[in-house]
Amino acid sequence: MIVTREAHEIDTDFGKLYIQILQAQLGTVYREDVLVEEIKPRVWVATDPQFKGEAELGHLKIRGRAWTISHQVQRLTDSERWSSEPTYDGPYRNEKGKQVEYRTKTYDLLYGLEREALDRFAKEHPYWEIESLRQRLEYNRNHELGQAKSLAKELTEAEARAANWQARIDELTA
């Protein structure tokens, strides 16, 4: 059931896409006046296995031109739909790094290819959402353990300082 953190390769008619499982986002949302935890599993999709979105590292060839994809996508809660996370330079770019304009033929084609690849990935790796959540929970656990270690160190130092004060008090009353 464990899904690896490596890039998963998905073939398309125009080239390869790579998908890597990321930590889920945890949040809260009100549903019927009740605050509930919301889990959004996430992946990174790109045309290159390094997830840099650079045409020389990997691209899709459409109408003789190289196009790149590199951005993070999350699975919408209680849905089979995907939602792109905003990126500074857009999810789709040409070989020169220029952003593809929204709702052009190329944008729509790249969007469709990406969604087909994501759906195929989800079907081939049915436990990917659990892996995404596990990565988030591990991160949260490690963060809390780090804080506990820091607080334990502070406690030890505070106890040593208190012992010094006590020693000075004992000297005065001796």
Reading the block at residue 42, the tokens are 């996430």
Q: What's the pLDDT score for residue 50?
A: 92
Query: Under a CB-based contact definition with an 8 Å cutoff, are residues 58 and 15 in contact?
Result: yes
Given a cut of 90, is residue 134 above it in pLDDT?
A: yes
**Arithmetic mean of pLDDT, 16-27:** 95
CA dihedral 154→158→164→165, nearest 10 degrees, is: 160
**pLDDT, mean over the chain:** 92
pLDDT per position as a tens digit, 29-72:
898 999 999 889 999 999 999 998 889 999 999 999 999 999 99
Share of the chain above pLDDT 70, in %: 97
3-state helix, strand, coil in the chain (%, to 5): 40, 30, 30
pTM of the model: 0.83
b or e along 35-53 (b: 16 or more beta carbons within 10 Å of the residue's beta carbon)? eeeebbbbbbbbbbeebeb
